A = this chain, B = another copy of it.
Amino acid sequence: MQATNLSWSQTEHNIAKSAFDKAYKRETDFILQAVRQEASKITELQDLWQMNDYLSARRHDLEGKYDFDESSLVFTFANLIKEEWLKIEELEGLAAEKLAKISMLSKM
A residues in contact (CB < 8 Å) with B: 28, 31-32, 35-36, 39-40, 42-45, 48-49, 51-52, 55-56, 59
This chain's copy number in the assembly: 2
**How would you classify the secondary structure of chain A's contact residues: helix, strand, loop or mixed?**
helix
CB distance A40 to B43 under 8 Å?
no
Are B55 and A28 within 8 A (Cβ)? no
The closest CB in chain B to the CB of A51 belongs to B55
Nearest CB in chain B: distance from A70 CB, A: 24
Other A-B pairs beyond A32-B43, A49-B59, A55-B55, 14, CB < 8 Å? A31-B48, A32-B42, A32-B44, A32-B48, A35-B39, A35-B48, A35-B51, A36-B40, A36-B42, A39-B39, A48-B55, A49-B55, A52-B52, A52-B56
Residue contacts A-B, CB under 8 angstroms, 27 given: A28-B45, A31-B45, A31-B48, A32-B42, A32-B44, A32-B45, A32-B48, A35-B39, A35-B42, A35-B48, A35-B51, A36-B39, A36-B40, A36-B42, A39-B39, A39-B40, A40-B40, A48-B55, A49-B55, A49-B59, A51-B55, A52-B52, A52-B55, A52-B56, A52-B59, A55-B55, A56-B56
